[in-house]
Amino acid sequence: MISKKLVAASSEPLVLAILSHGESYGYAILQRVRAMSGGRLAWNEGMLYPVLHRLERAGLIEARWEDGGGRKRKYYRLAAAGERALASEQEEWEVVDATLRALWEGAGA
Amino acid sequence: MLDHREELAALRRALRCAGLTPDQVDELADHVEADARRRVDSGCGEAQALREARAALGPVEALRAEFQKANPSMDLVSKLAGLALSALVVALAFGATGDLWALVHAPALLLVGGLVAGGLVASFGPVRVVRALRAGLTGRPTDDAEVHAGVVARGYRLAWASGVLGTILGAIQMLAQLADPAGLGPGLATCTLSLLYGALIAEVGFANLRAWLERAAVPLG
């Protein structure tokens, strides 16, 4: 299992990355994260929705309500600012990833 | 279709009581319903599917804490805006018919404010008083909820008592000036405005703090 700290740190880039593939809603995002991580990134439902709302307020994602089957569902999509934020996040995570890989490979050599 | 509407309705009620916005309530209820549907599709009974989906959402207190963490200032801003609106309404209502400055009377303000602050500090100490006020304004659940409720309840009573005390002192001041009608003004101002300040501090200040603390301490789930 991934530690809580890392789960929290990676939550925003993960949400942005999932939404970069198209519009989605909270439950589907959660399922996608679980499936993509093989169940090792066990997101707490209580954590996802505040993250979505925070990103929405920051203007990185946009939301719309859709009525269907007698209930309302909130769909999120990436905003232009979100695309820029995702690119920036991607660069940062790649630096961290490359640094750690170099260190671990060096330590193993 | 899921038929256990009452469970979802109970969840919505709990989320609303926790202070979540209608949009947040709708979204979380939709989440539970979607999760329950998936469990039903996997062969789970409806009632059990809803129970499991509800349990997966976690305690309502934790949800509220996460939402507050994500947006800590909003709650405080809306509370302060509400208080400011109350003050504005009083000011506008009085300003339309009289001199607004007539509502400001330093001796009465000092008397009531001083008695309330002094009484609270004497009873609970400055640290507890400040913590209770902060807990009420931020709405965050605390470990000291009982003490904070005590501080606010005492503040409410002290505010009314100080207002009445100010009225009595103002009346005594007036009685001492009966021979000189021109000197009745300050006593009359203390008399009436002390009661006004006491009522405002009690009903707008401490009554709201009490409501906010109660909302923060509602046992949910």
Q: Report which DSSP code applies to B42.
A: T
Residue B159: helix, strand or coil by DSSP? helix
- Name, of B72-86, B95-109, B155-169, the range with top average pLDDT: B155-169
Tell me if A54 and B71 make a contact (CB, 8 A cut-off).
yes
Instruction: Output the DSSP codes for B48-69.
Output: HHHHHHHHHH--HHHHHHHHHH
What's the average model confidence in pLDDT over A49-61?
88
The pLDDT confidence band at residue B142, using thresholds 50, 70 and 90, is low
Q: Report the pLDDT value the prediction gives residue B74, as an integer from 0 to 100.
A: 54
Shortest Cα–Cα distance, A87 to chain B (Å): 23
pLDDT tens digits along B172-207: 988 888 888 777 888 888 888 999 999 999 988 899
pLDDT at B132 over 50: yes
Long-range CB pairs of A1-4, under 8 A, 24+ apart, other chains included: A1/A40, A1/A42, A2/A37, A2/A40, A2/A41, A2/A42
- Residue A62 is predicted with a pLDDT of 94
pLDDT for B98 beyond 80:
no
Mutant choice from B2, B25, B31 vs A, greatest count of A C-beta within 10 A? B31
d(CA B122, CA A101): 61
Joined tokens for residue B175: 């009685």
Q: Which of the given ranges, A95-104, B50-59, B93-102, has the highest pLDDT on average?
A: A95-104
pLDDT per residue as tens digits for the range B31-78: 888 888 888 888 888 888 888 888 888 887 777 777 766 665 556 777
- Mean pLDDT of the region B24-28: 85
Q: What does the pLDDT average to over A39-50?
A: 80
Which pLDDT belongs to residue B116? 94
* pLDDT classification of B221: cutoffs 50, 70, 90: very low
Counting one residue from chain A and one from chain B, the pairs whose CB atoms sit within 8 A come to 54
Residue A34 pLDDT exceeds 80: yes
Chain B contact probe: residue of A4, A34, A45 with most B CBs at under 10 A: A45
Q: Is A63 in contact with A73 (CB distance < 8 Å)?
A: no
What is the Rg, in whole angstroms, of the alpha carbon atoms belonging to chain B?
Answer: 25
Report all structural domains of chain A as residue ranges with CATH numbers, in order of start. Answer: 4-108 (1.10.10.10)
User: B44: phi > 0 → left, psi -120 to 50 → alpha, else beta; which?
Assistant: beta
Q: Which of B164, B155, B91, B170 is nearest to B117 (CA)?
A: B155
Residues on chain B touching A72 (C-beta within 8 angstroms): 26, 30
Q: For residues A82 and B100, which has the higher predicted lDDT (pLDDT)? A: A82
Using alpha carbons, list the distances in angstroms from residue B94 to B98, B101, B183: 6, 10, 24
**B184 vs B162, higher pLDDT:** B162
Whether the ipTM is more than 0.85: the answer is no
Size of chain B in residues: 221
Average pLDDT across chain B, whole number = 82
Residue B93 has a pLDDT of 78
Give the residue extent of every domain in chain B. Answer: 5-68, 73-216
Cα torsion B109, B115, B117, B118: sign: positive
* B24–A73 CB contact, under 8 Å: no
Which of B89 and B156 is assigned the larger pLDDT? B156
| SS3 (DSSP) at B3 | coil
Higher pLDDT, A88 or B23: A88
CB of A68 less than 8 A from some CB of B? no
Q: What is the pLDDT of residue B143?
A: 64
Q: Look at residue B217 in the predicted model and tell me its pLDDT.
A: 57
B96 touches chain A (CB under 8 A): no
Give the rounded percent of residues in chain B with a pLDDT score beyond 70: 88
Measured in whole angstroms, how far is the alpha carbon of residue A46 from the centre of its chain?
14
Supply the pLDDT for residue B95: 72
Q: Which residue has the higher pLDDT, B97 or B127?
A: B127
Residue B170 CA to residue B184 CA, distance in Å, equals 10
**Residue A61: enclosing H or E segment and its boundaries?**
strand A61-68
